[in-house]
Amino acid sequence: MYHLVPMPQMVVFGEEVSNRSFPLGVCFSELPFLSEKAVSEVCPGAFVSSEKPDIDFVRRNGVEYGYRIVSKKSRLTVFYSSDESAFNALVTLWQISRQADRPGVFEILDRADIENRGFGLDISRGKVPTVQTVCKLADILARFKYNQLQLYIEGFSFEYPSFSQYSGKDSSLSSDEIREISRYCKERFIELVPNQNSLGHMMPWLAEEEFSNLAECESGFSYAGYTLPATTLDACNRKSSELVEKMADDLFSCCDSDKIHMGLDESFELCRGKNKNKDNGAVFADYVRRLNQFCRRRGKRMMMWADGLHRFHCFDKGLPGDIIYLEWGYEKEYSFDAMCRKLRDSNLDFYVCPGTSSWLSFTGLTDNMMKNIENAVGCALEYGARGVLLTDWGDCNHMQPLPVSYAAIIYCGALVWNGKAGLSEEALADALNTVVFEDKNGIMGRFVLEAGRYYLSEDFRLPCRTLAHLMYSGNIKSIDQYNSSLALTEMLVNALAQPDVAKAYFPIKRGGASGSAEKVMTFVASLKTMLAGADMKCSDAGLIRAEYENALDMVLLFTQLRKNLNECKPIEGLKEQAETIAQRHRNIWLERNKKSGLEIGLVAFETF
């Protein structure tokens, strides 16, 4: 029996073995919708081009399944209902080729539980990936049958042709680069959906003199004693709409998708400044309608985050019914159930959006990731979501390496395709070993999951964040700064998160050492030993090893810093260690990313 991820909906195995062996011949000239190059890159070693193929492809329109593979002793037939399903059938056969020299005798009947299976990568907040990095990611997504990719743009990480003076080749993806990515994805049956924020999260734009007058609060805004910079557009100013429409038009020229994600989340200042006396729900709903009308004129279906609907009580404000609303929540306690029920009962099309739990952690939060994805996908299936978008964010300089998110990609992909089958931790680790890392010693998969558990040894839990990363992101160098950062985090979570989330983590007891730092450092030392035993054969094996080694050293550095502060010990002795980590980080970063915000992310290493 083969271990397939995602598990097909139905598999029946026989006892015989085919008389044909991998690689199997495919007549690509008769299948013009399949790119031989794409198949060879997503499914290396499993197929060769042949005018006398080993696989018969038979199209069956209108069938209930996506694809059906019938493998007999002398012949193998793929029945498929769409071009995408034929490609997915080859992906399944490729996974079989990783486990056997010859295909067995079997029948597989398969389709996805959820039609739209997406991944959202934050390419802002300082880390802009190279084209090669995004293309490699697309290959991994295709291996787990994702069919949508969104690159989240905030600020100038895309070189908008209309505003090219604010971007550069070392800090932005150009129009040509986005087109290249779009073509690459399309050959793998992945839709590249443009994604930009258009109301909140506009701080980089509003910091520019040309656009500063478009802010709701031009001088920033104060909340609970903290003053924050302007982040939200004046939704009542027609010039705000003109700005985001021009931005969107620039993006449309690069992508073939019939959708665009316009963001609209976390518009905290809405009606707190220039529009203070207006109904924020009515203002928000009107802005949404105007943007949707623009998208419809361009022949695009608008997508947007759903938090504004809840925050501003918009369900009775005449929201457009043709928008796709994206319900996001990243803690394991997030109540997708209540939120999805409300969207369904309002007859709105929606996706659910869990997270990889990799950001603000260095090496991930495995248990939160798995439970968050389980809750999200379970509610997507129960309430009839149109899709699932797994999100990968980069808050506070995007310090986690991309491979930290691979476990979440596999886990979410498996559940979205076949929710009933699920995926055990053992099977997840095995998929990481065999399909991604190609670890001959079978260690790397388990290592990745355990690396995402160091936070369980810390003093206490924080939502979607570790204490080690808090020390980094707050540039904390004193016990007073530590306690102040905890207070700010608690305030923000209580103000912005669901009550069930806030009460699961706060209040916390601050000050004093519990001995947890020693536990963390002992645990990380064991992880380093485990990593040393891995024998990866994937093309970027050396880089992945270096990324994880340096990430673990970051955990050790900032845990030791916290220990020193709690014990009133000097921190100057950590300076050399910090400098070594920073220099390695520079080299590693440039292997996958443009230079962009690299140096900004290293400030905390330079202040010891």
pLDDT at 226 exceeding the cut of 80: no
In the chain, the percentage of residues whose pLDDT exceeds 70 is 99
Q: How many residues does the chain have?
A: 608
pLDDT digits (tens, 9 = 90+) for 93-149: 999 999 999 998 999 999 999 999 999 999 999 999 999 999 999 999 999 999 999
pLDDT at 2 exceeding the cut of 90: no
Q: What is the pLDDT of residue 513?
A: 52
Give the model's confidence band at 224: pLDDT under 50 very low, under 70 low, under 90 confident, else very high.
low
146-176 burial by CB neighbour count: b if 16+ within 10 A, else e?
bbbbbbbbbbbbbbbeebeebbeeebbbbbe
pLDDT at 512 exceeding the cut of 70: no
In this structure, of 56-65, 471-480, 513-522, 580-589, the range with the lowest mean pLDDT score is 513-522
pLDDT at 15 exceeding the cut of 80: yes
Q: What is the pLDDT of residue 292?
A: 98
- 97 sits in the region (left: phi over 0; alpha: psi -120 to 50; else beta) called alpha
419-448 burial by CB neighbour count: b if 16+ within 10 A, else e?
bebebeeebbbbbbbbbbbbbeebbbbbbb
User: Which whole number is the average pLDDT over 234-241?
Assistant: 98
Kindly write down the DSSP assignment for every residue of 208-264, as one continuous string. STTTGGGBSSTT-EEETTEEE---SB-TT-HHHHHHHHHHHHHHHTT---SEEE---
User: Which whole number is the average pLDDT over 11-34?
Assistant: 92
- The answer to whether the CB of 517 falls within 8 A of the CB of 562 is yes
Distance CA 26, CA 89 (A): 13
pLDDT at 465 exceeding the cut of 80: yes
pLDDT at 506 exceeding the cut of 60: yes
pLDDT at 500 exceeding the cut of 70: yes
pLDDT at 511 exceeding the cut of 80: no
pLDDT at 509 exceeding the cut of 90: no
Q: Cα Rg for the chain, rounded, in angstroms?
A: 25
CA-wise closest residue to 411 among 424, 402, 401, 420: 424
Q: What is the pLDDT of residue 63?
A: 82
For the full predicted model, state whether its pTM sits above 0.95: yes
User: Which whole number is the average pLDDT over 549-554?
Assistant: 98
Q: Is the bond preceding residue 53 a cis peptide, omega within 30 degrees?
A: no
Task: Give the count of alpha carbons within 13 A of 101, CB side only.
Answer: 1
Distance CA 374, CA 354 (A): 9
Q: What is the pLDDT of residue 276?
A: 95
pLDDT digits (tens, 9 = 90+) for 411-450: 999 999 999 999 999 999 999 999 999 999 999 999 999 9
In this structure, of 14-23, 363-372, 529-538, 579-588, the range with the lowest mean pLDDT score is 14-23
User: Which whole number is the average pLDDT over 56-77?
Assistant: 93
pLDDT at 603 exceeding the cut of 90: yes
Distance CA 483, CA 459 (A): 13
Q: What is the pLDDT of residue 273?
A: 96
Q: What is the pLDDT of residue 288?
A: 98
Query: 444-451 vs 541-566: helix axis angle to the nearest 10?
Result: 30
